[in-house]
A and B are shown apart, each in its own frame.
Chain A
Amino acid sequence: QTVVIQESSFSVSPGGTVTLTCGLNSGSVSSGYYPSWYQQTPGQAPRPLIYGTNTRSSGVPDRFSGSILGNKAALTISGAQAEDESDYYCVMYMGSGILMFGGGTRLTVL
């Protein structure tokens, strides 16, 4: 049973840089998994940030970037701002029409 793994929590100082990762319990993440990222604040629907590894969604500031780092997908926030404090979810395409979300990372900006 494949599991998508994210850090449960992370913190960053205002203006700092943080990299959140998204891996698999077995195997490496590649662009063929089309990793995508969503931001969610309490009481709101998820907001798309990054899709297909590194393409920013419409209206997303360029301080958000996506990549493959080693054997994981990564979301980097450069110059973090207070409004970036949110939950972040990655999702990957597992083949045969199936997608799988990671457990989410709660990012604190302090």
Chain B
Amino acid sequence: EDKVVQSPLSLVVHEGDTVTLNCSYEVTNFRSLLWYKQEKKAPTFLFMLTSSGIEKKSGRLSSILDKKELFSILNITATQTGDSAVYLCAVPGAGSYQLTFGKGTKLSVIP
């Protein structure tokens, strides 16, 4: 059975802090790993990682994948209150049609 474990489950930081969110996975026939940000409503796509060791960046957010150790991290530098959200990690399952999601990390950024 495919498994995605995220840690921590929740995190409270002050504006300006740097945070690292973790995602470990067990999946048959790995294809990719995806990060989503969920504020009040729909999850919105952040990154898709397929290759080990290659960092993806978008502004203050970056992510990297380690296929040997089966994990990914999402870094957010100089956090802002607008970064407060649940961050979800997901991998496609063996049949590749469905995404198996982790339970998410709830990030709260306080002024």
Q: Do A and B assemble together?
A: no
